[in-house]
Amino acid sequence: MSMAKRQRRTPEAAKFAILDAAERRLHDDGPEGVRIQRIATDLNITDAAVHYHFGTREALMDALLRRIGRRLVDDIESTIQKWAPDQIDVAALGRLFQRTYADERAAKLALWLSVAGHRPKGSGMLKPLVERVHRARLESARKAKRTAPRISSTQFSIALLSAAHMLAAMSGEALMASVSEDPAGLDQRDFLDFAVKLIARHLAEG
């Protein structure tokens, strides 16, 4: 039985293909499924080829997390461009965080990297969002002749929105079980809706 012929790719195309394969593994099997050997097999390349482009498994996981993060940033930018000057659609932001952290498995990937000892430097990934939300709050306060809100209040609100969705994606069932002996009636979606409403109210009230 002959082996399938390996496909030649440019370095850029090879890295893209490896990340695509890694993301499929992440979606299907979780972080534990993102392994050099499995990805090499999926692409019919050698383990050495994957190591050549990314070095270690941890570096590949970090690159994958950054890729998903960049996609989130792009989606946030596309969303906030459609807002009116004083508009803040917290529910829309919540849906983006939900998709990234839960559906795309970014929260569990971030947890895996943290347990592995990876300490990413602060990237300011959500800084443009904070600035846009804060401008809307300032405009709303100006119209209502209220005291201008502090930037730290906006930063904390966006951090809390992100954290709530990340924690729910990581361990939502355990989170619900921590507050009730019978958590069957506590739905994660209801918890996130509750968090979104609280944050939206705070941002609106200044």
Task: Please state which CATH number belongs to domain 9-55.
Answer: 1.10.10
- 118-163: pLDDT as tens digits: 776 667 899 999 999 999 999 999 999 999 999 999 999 999 999 9
152-181 burial code (b ≥16 CB/10 A, e <16): eebbebbeebbebbbbbbeebeebbeeeee
Model confidence pTM above 0.85: yes
Q: Extract the tokens encoding 75.
A: 């989606």
Which residue positions in the chain have pLDDT lower than 70?
1-7, 120-122
Query: What would you measure as the largest C-alpha separation in the chain, in angstroms?
Result: 78
Q: Residue 37 to residues 50, 105, 147: CA-CA distances in angstroms?
A: 9, 21, 58
CA distances from 93 to 3, 76, 126, 159 (A): 47, 7, 11, 12
